[in-house]
Amino acid sequence: MYEILVREDLAPVTKLFEVHAPAVASKARAGQFVIIRLHESGERIPLTIADYDRQRGTITLVFQEVGKTTLEMGTMQAGDHLASLTGPLGIPSEIENWGTVLCVGGGVGIAPIYPIARDLKAAGNTVLSVIGARNKDLLFWEDKMRAVSDELIVCTDDGSYGRQALVTIPIKELLEAERPIRHIWAIGPAIMMKFCALTTKPFGVPTIVSLNSIMVDGTGMCGACRVEVGGQTRFVCVDGPEFDGHQVDWDQLLARQRIYPEQEQLAVEKWKHECQCAPK
């Protein structure tokens, strides 16, 4: 059992848990994830390790409530326990001194981009960062991102905070200004990563994305997370989650994320019904 030591509400639908998991914290590296179950009959869901503290033996998870499991997770409090937490999984980010790098986080993708930006900064890079969300209420960790970035641009889709722009606009401007950007990481919803990759492709700057395909086992055996990258079948859980964004078959990924809408809707309804019927 893995105790939730801290719960923080970052935005109305975005929550942070600091979880006691010393073995995972001792090995965690930027770019990796864990698979958790809330309870014995819970489904397995992947979440990125957004931060870790080896001394305290904790990892930080940031999640957005989008369906049954994440909604249920949002009802948990400090002192509650996760039934299982497997990891660290996936191949860590390729952190080296590239020179100047650009880190882009959209929505809940701000959480996974943070440890990458932090480690790139520690490796001696000049870190330019762009973070964005639909509106001011959905933004978080501006202070943490500023602390690990040489320059930070903050955008909202509706202009309620920072610059009114999609993240692709400042990316294009930075590349057109011929800033010597050697490597780009872009993490967020699949549609955002697709357009980031399309924006950077004409400039020929390697663009790494972290794919969020549906997962089951997380060990390369079930095939649920398969994606096409460069015309080859790859498994996000063991070959990723980071891939060359210019090589990803985005339309296939987007279609595979939408395979189970009816079952997902039913799961939420059933869970809400059970909550109402549960003895208070």
Which residues make up the interface to ligand FAD (CB under 6 A)?
33, 45-48, 62-64, 66-70, 108, 111-112, 212-215, 236, 241, 257-258, 264, 267
Closer to ligand FES by CB, 15 or 226: give it: 226
- In the bound state, the residue with its beta carbon closest to ligand FAD is 67
CB of residue 240 to ligand FAD, shortest distance in Å: 7
CB of residue 261 to ligand FAD, shortest distance in Å: 6
- The binder of 218, among ligand FES, ligand FAD, none, by C-beta within 5 to 8 A per type, is ligand FES
Contact assessment for residue 7 and residue 77, using Cβ atoms and an 8 Å cutoff: yes
Contact assessment for residue 180 and residue 173, using Cβ atoms and an 8 Å cutoff: no
CB of residue 241 to ligand FAD, shortest distance in Å: 4
Return all residues near 212 (Cβ < 8 A) that are at least 6 apart. Answer: 46, 189, 190, 236, 241, 257
Instruction: Name the E strands within 55-180.
Output: 58-64, 81-82, 84-89, 100-106, 126-133, 151-156, 163-164
- The binder of 66, among ligand FES, ligand FAD, none, by C-beta within 5 to 8 A per type, is ligand FAD
CB of residue 44 to ligand FES, shortest distance in Å: 9
Do the bridges between strand 226-229 and strand 58-64 make them parallel or antiparallel, or are there none, so unpaired?
unpaired
Q: Please tell me what DSSP assigns to residue 216.
A: S
Closer to ligand FES by CB, 95 or 215: give it: 215
DSSP assignments along 227-245, one per residue: EEETTEEEEHHHH-SEEET
CB of residue 88 to ligand FAD, shortest distance in Å: 11
- The binder of 68, among ligand FES, ligand FAD, none, by C-beta within 5 to 8 A per type, is ligand FAD
Q: For the purposes of burial, counting CB atoms within 10 Å of the CB of 129, is it exposed (0-12), middle (13-18) or buried (19 or more)? A: buried
- The binder of 221, among ligand FES, ligand FAD, none, by C-beta within 5 to 8 A per type, is ligand FES
Instruction: Name the E strands within 117-275.
Output: 126-133, 151-156, 163-164, 181-187, 207-210, 226-229, 232-235, 242-244
* Residue type at position 66: V
- The binder of 217, among ligand FES, ligand FAD, none, by C-beta within 5 to 8 A per type, is ligand FES
Closer to ligand FAD by CB, 126 or 129: give it: 129
